[in-house]
Every structure is written in structure tokens, then in C-alpha cells.
Structure 1
Amino acid sequence: MTLDFDATGDGPAVLLLHSTVCDRRMWDPQVTALAGAGHRVVRVDLVGHGGTPVPAGRFDEAAEIGALLDGLGVDRLAVVGASGGGRVALEFASRWPERVTALALLATALRGHPAGPELEAFDEREEALLEAGDVAGAVDLNVDLWLGPEADDATRERVRVMQRHAFDVQLAAEDVPYEPVRTEPDPGVIAAPTLLVTGAHDVPDFREIALHLAGLLPRARHLELDWAGHLPSLERPEEINALLRDFLAG
């Protein structure tokens, strides 16, 4: 199986890994900005999102991303990951640190992080809605939690469309014997400069994760955005575009 992807522009490569609330379309505002700044922008749909179905059998997503990059002739690159995409970015950078020149993590998840009360309550509510067949209700639950006060109606609708599509793909594959291959990341081996971005209006877990990683990653700095929720690249795209351009240029 091949991960669905697209590539835009020329120059030093940047890989964009989306939040698992969305798919690669969440990066639409960043693609033009980063390509215009002289980067080759590669973005993929993770398993069960966008154009990438849920595969049968064992599947190593991080290794497949590496193979995809090999096919594009990309050896070294910067990686930008949001939420669940940040979790994949950490695994990739930990397994192949020599390939990663810079790492930007926006409200990143972290494998093994124990969910706090708010996140645990959300997970239980989402599961109950899906078990009851109320997919629309589960979509609304996600939109309400993950977008901060800066998100306008158009942004909320974009996230609603992406989350609904992800649920449709994943629910249709409930009987597919998918066996993901996952490796615990070792942040200490990641030598690339790392930017950890969190939002003041996000669930507290993600700030806790960022602060934890800031103490483990050798070249990390943490930036808290007082206006942001969980998806700042959609909430204030121009501000995040400028932040990423400056970080990658440095």
C-alpha cells in the first residue's frame, strides 16, 4: 500500500504531517507559503485519513514515509507535525535522526502519554457517540474541542469535512486486520533544532507533553501562543506561516 501524498515546489524539502483530526488538506495555507519561500513541500495522508485507506496486515507507517521520500529523491529534510502527526514525526526523527534537519511540532501528541481528565472525558464521549451511530455528533464534538477562539466558521467547516471523512474511512475498515508497527521514540537521539508550539486554549495535555519533550530534546525551545487552540496553523495561518518560514530559515 502507498500513502497518498503530493509534492509542491523546489528547494530544501519540508515534510508536513497532519493532525489526526484532519488530513493533509489542513496544510493548504502552508503549502503556498513554504513553496514560495523556496522549499519543496511534501505532505502525506496518514493511514485512515484523506486518500490513504486502512491497510490489511502489518504496516510500518514511519518506514513507508521514509520509502516515499526515497522515491522522491529526498535524503534530508525538515519535518513539521501537528498533534497525531507530531507523534509520527517524533518516531521518524528518532529512527532516522540523520535525515532530519529541523523539527517543528505543533500541539504534538506523544506515544505513552497518559490522558488527563479532560482528554479522557473527550475520548469516552467520542467513543459513546460512535458506538451509538451518531457520527455527526462525534464530528461536532471534535470541532468544538480542537479549534480555539480564533477559528472562523469557514475553518470550522473545513475541519468538520476532514474529520467526517476520517471517521467514514475508519468505520468502513473496522473489520480490516490492520496491525500498525510502532516504535517508541527516543527524543535524546534527535539532534535537529526543534520548535515545540502549544496553544493557551488547548487541552492541558499538549502543553505538558511539550514541556516534557523540551527537557529531553537536546536543541528544543517551547513557544506558547496565547491566542491558539489545538490547530493554530488553521486558526491563524499567516502567523504560523511566518513562524515556520523563520524557523526553517534559521
Structure 2
Amino acid sequence: MVDREIEINDGVVVYEFVGPDDGEVIVVTPGGRFSKDVGGIHELAAALAKNGKRVLLWDRPNCGRSDVQLYGRTESHMRADTLGRLLQALGIERVLVAGGSGGARDSIVFTLMWPRMVRKLALWSIVGGTYSTISLANVYVMNELRTVRSEGIEGVLKLPEWAGLIEANPRNRERLLALGTEGFEHVMNRWLDAYVPKPNEPIPGVSDWEFGDIKVPTLIVRGGERDFNHPKRTSMEVHALIAGSRLVEPPWPEDAWERALAASFAGTGNLFDPWVQAAPVLLDFFDEA
């Protein structure tokens, strides 16, 4: 497993492949602004690769060691655009797509933007509903807006999340400075709109009607009964909106996310550790005729 770099849309994207060179490619996308190297992701990739799949892991823009990028309707739309261009640059015409939490949202938007590239789609831990959507506004945008309006772009550079991206990739300091206070605030203002709960958007930034454009076989792992960040209700709404999709029971406990979150805070585990348990379900779905 070797990290590689490629320039997409004037920004470097860091990626790697896990598994045999001749395997069908699965793109696995984690959530949050987490790197591909966060605990749990390589474990899932290794489990998928054991069955002959070639897993593409990538640091999305604003994650890990890739360059920061700030453009597009939402952050997920920007990432989906980047992924499509990345696959084109790598000469990969069609993939299996798998994503959880924010990676589920990114995968949905990618399927909408690049439908011919997707053979099958698998989703789990889908964010939706008032509580989790407003929570995401605080995670991704609100602190940035407060800071850039009071301290300018120099203040943004000091925020722990963006400072971490600069530490991982020093180019990001100059990229943010080049965007400037006004440019950064403009993008954050636009991205904030996705996290204003709307009755016709089951997930942030994607309207009801758009799900009707997803025509590929789709597997949805039901949200947990006690998962407040990825509600059971949202998984069922997405299932209802994607014609022919399949809703399956979670392969982990109903409160697996809360347990993993607590373990992450305590330093005894990782947020995405439970995801490897989905490997058999994903492989069965991907290998079906």
C-alpha cells in the first residue's frame, strides 16, 4: 500500500489502492473531514481486498494530506467532482461505490453527478434529520464563519482542523491565504445552506427529486435505533426515494456509532472500527449478478 499523488482541478489529491491490480475497483469513502488513514478504513479495505477487490482509498479535498479546495454547491459536490476527475485521470471507467456517514452523502452526490461511472452503490450511517443536520453545520461551517468574520483568514489558519491540514500538507497554508478572507467566507456561506434543514431534503444538500435519478442497484444499511447522528428514519427515507434499493439490517449493534464515538474520545478505539463488520454484506451485494 503506497500513497500516490495526482493533480486534479489545480489541487493535489492523495490516494492509494489496496488489493490486486486486476480486481474490480471499489471506492471507499469515510465520513467527516477524516483522512483515509483514520482507524477502521484500512481494515475495511483489507477485508474487501481479500475477496479479490481493488479498493481505492482517497484523501478527499480538505481531508488528510490532499490540498484544500473550496468551490462548488456544497462540499460534497466538490468532492464528487474531484472523484470523477480522479477516476478519469486514472483511466477507470466504472466502479463500485461504498461510503458511510459523510462518505455516504459524498457517494450519493457522486452517483448523481457521474452516473455512468457507477455500477453499484452501497451506503450506511446516512446523516439526516434536524439534530444531525444542524450538528454538521457546527462541525463544518459555523466556527469557520465566526472566525473568518472576526479574525480574517489568518484566524482560520489557527483553527485546529485547518491547522491540522496545514501540518499534514504545508501547501495548504498558501492555498488558504490565496483564497483570502472574502473568498473563504463566501464559500462557507454557500456551504452553510446545505445544513439548514429543509422538508424536501432527506440529507443535506440533496433534494427528494434528485434521488429519482439514481438508477443503479443500491444497498442501504439501516441506521441504528440509538444512532442520533445517522437516524434510522433517514436510511428508510433514502430507501423509499431510490427505486429498487435494498434496505438491510445493520451488521453492528444499534448503538455502534455512540460506542465508537465514546471509544474514540477515550483513546481506546476509532470512530470507524465497526465498519469492517459490513464487509461480508458489501461483498455479497457487489458480487451478485
TM-score (norm. length: structure 1) = 0.70
Displacement of 1:236:
2.9
The 5-angstrom pairing of residues 101-250 of structure 1 reads: 101-109=119-127, 115-117=129-131, 120=134, 168-169=164-165, 176=179, 177=183, 179=187, 184=206, 186-197=210-221, 198-203=223-228, 206-225=231-250, 226-227=253-254, 228-229=256-257, 234-250=272-288
Q: Percent identity?
A: 22
2:92 alignment counterpart = 74
Deviations 1:26-82 (A, max 9, x none): 411012111221111111111211112323666943222112112222111110111
Distance 1:46-1:118 versus aligned 2 partners, 3 A rule: closer
Match of 1:8 among 8, 12, 18: 18
Checking the alignment, whether the CA contact within 8 Å between 2:120 and 2:286 is kept in structure 1 is yes
Amino acid at match of 1:42: L
Q: Distance in 2 between matches of 1:46 and 1:204?
A: 21
Match of 2:29 among 17, 23, 35: 17
Q: Distance in 2 between matches of 1:70 and 1:94?
A: 16
2:152 alignment counterpart = none
Displacement of 1:168:
2.5
Deviations 1:70-110 (A, max 9, x none): 2222111110111111111111101222221111111123x
Q: Distance in 2 between matches of 1:6 and 1:33?
A: 16
Q: What is the root-mean-square deviation of aligned Cα atoms in Å?
A: 3.6
2:115 alignment counterpart = 97
1:38 alignment counterpart = 52
Checking the alignment, whether the CA contact within 8 Å between 2:122 and 2:218 is kept in structure 1 is yes
1:54 alignment counterpart = 68
- Larger RCO, structure (CA 8 Å, separation 6 or more): 1
Displacement of 1:167:
6.6
Q: Which runs of 5+ in 2 are unaligned?
A: 1-10, 148-159, 167-171, 195-204, 261-269
Q: Distance in 2 between matches of 1:95 and 1:224?
A: 28
TM-score (norm. length: structure 2) = 0.62
Displacement of 1:184:
4.4
Q: Distance in 2 between matches of 1:57 and 1:119?
A: 20
Amino acid at match of 2:103: G
Rg: which structure is higher? 2
Q: Distance in 2 between matches of 1:236 and 1:56?
A: 31
Q: Distance in 2 between matches of 1:245 and 1:233?
A: 22
Aligned length: 215
